[in-house]
Amino acid sequence: MRTVEDRVAGMDWHTIPLLGCAVCGVWALLGYGWAFFGATRGQRAVRVTGRIAEVRVPAHGAPGTAGIPVVISFPDAATGQEHTLAYEGERGIQLNTVWVGREVAILHPPGDPQRFEVAHTLQDGLSGRGWPNFAVVLLYAGLVTDSAIRYGYPWALLGVGGPLTMAMAFVLRHDLRLARRESARTADAITVPGRVIAVTESVHDDSEGTWTNYTAFVAFTTREGTTVTARLPTAPKDPGSAYGQECSVHYAPDDPEVFTLDPAASRRSSVLDLFFVVLILLLGVAGTVMGAILL
């Protein structure tokens, strides 16, 4: 009797990728069916709006955390009981800009609010098609790879360039709309004094050596009297002297989560992001055109 290893060795060179594509296809079909009947984890989740009841500022010099530790209160959809639980970003999204009273989207399994997670919005994962869509992407990648090996690399240029062009076109449209909105919001930004209240450090070891990541946290008070604690997106230039430094914080009047310490640097970062998207878009167009010419 032939062993599994013998059967695998006897397969044609393109059989294994096609088997992988078949697995992805079955995965996608089952996933879409599961989503159609509303049986996915995301569709069954209980969705409620919670509020931050307490902000636990990281201690200066302490190890870094996934987000800013907070305590969140949210109602039980079944009983109306109020749950007050700690959250450090170990489940769901990280909370990097927080204040007492901020509303957050809470998702948890039915009957188990202790396993809650924080989402961007109450609609996150509601369609249940996230994993099936991912399976379709893997299926398509496998088919493109098989076609390129069978019929030549122009098929790879077409197979990758076409979807990449369409995807980057949507990304560019989204980023342009976002950049215009952020520009309008920051044009009316309110400037208030802030202070670096903590710098955490995380030591990492690997085969190449040891390095330390530093993260700075700033606190500022809005004109309405709301105290905001925020994690800076970039490491401080001088971690040793950053703690306690005063700074100017520019925040959007309607949303303190949109803030910056350096408006000019934020504008440069937005321009660089758009440049990168345009570059990838042009590469996608070039690949598509080149593939079509070489066929």
pLDDT tens series, the chain, 295 aa: 455 555 545 456 667 778 888 999 999 999 999 999 999 988 999 999 999 999 998 888 878 777 899 999 999 888 888 999 999 877 789 999 999 999 999 999 998 999 999 999 999 989 989 999 999 999 999 889 888 888 888 888 999 999 999 999 999 999 999 888 888 777 788 999 999 999 988 877 766 667 788 899 999 999 999 999 999 988 888 888 889 999 999 999 888 998 999 888 888 888 899 999 999 999 999 999 999 888 7
Residue 131 domain flag: no
Residue 151 domain flag: no
Asked if 166 contacts 281 with a C-beta cutoff of 8 angstroms, the reply is no
Residue 2 domain flag: no
Asked if 85 contacts 72 with a C-beta cutoff of 8 angstroms, the reply is yes
Residue 98 domain flag: yes
Residue 215 domain flag: no
| Number of other residues whose CB lies within 10 A of the CB of residue 139 | 19
Count of structural domains within the chain: 1
Residue written as token pair 């949109």: 258
Residue written as token pair 């909370």: 95
Residue 291 domain flag: no
Residue 179 domain flag: no
Domain residue limits at 78: 45-119
In angstroms, the CA 147 to CA 139 distance is: 12
DSSP type of residue 115 = G
User: How far from the centroid of its chain's Cα atoms is residue 54's Cα?
Assistant: 24
Residue 189 domain flag: no
